[in-house]
Amino acid sequence: MKKVLSISVATLCLYFAFQQVNLEDINRALITANLNYLFLASLITFITFILRSIRWRMLLNSPKELSFSQYMSSTHIGYFLNNILPFRAGDLGRAKLLSDHSKRMKFSFLVGSLVAEKIIDLWIIGFFSIFIIFLGYQDILGFNFSLIILLLYIITTAIIFGENSLVNKIQEKFSITKNFIDGYLLVSENKIKLGIISLMLWCSFVVYIFLILQSLNINLTIQQYLGLTIISSIVTSLPIAPAAIGTYHLAVIYCLSLYEINIDLAQTTAILMHSLFLVYTIIFGYIFLSFEKINLKTLINDNKD
| Spatial distance between the Cα atoms of 290 and 154, rounded to a whole number of angstroms | 42
Query: Which pLDDT score, from 0 to 100, does residue 231 have?
Result: 84
Residues of the chain with pLDDT under 70: 1-23, 136-143, 162-181, 183-185, 238-243, 293-305
pLDDT value of position 212: 95
Q: Find the helix packing angle between 222-237 and 191-215, rounded to 10°.
A: 110
pLDDT of the residue at 304? 53
Gap between the Cα atoms of 274 and 173, Å rounded: 43
Which pLDDT score is estimated for 267? 85
CA atoms within 13 A on the CB side of 139: 6
Per-residue model confidence (pLDDT) at position 265: 86
Can you give the pLDDT at residue 271?
85
pLDDT at site 299: 46
Q: What is the pLDDT of residue 139?
A: 67
Among residues 260, 252, 291, which one has the least CA distance to residue 77? 291
CB 212 within 8 A of CB 41: yes
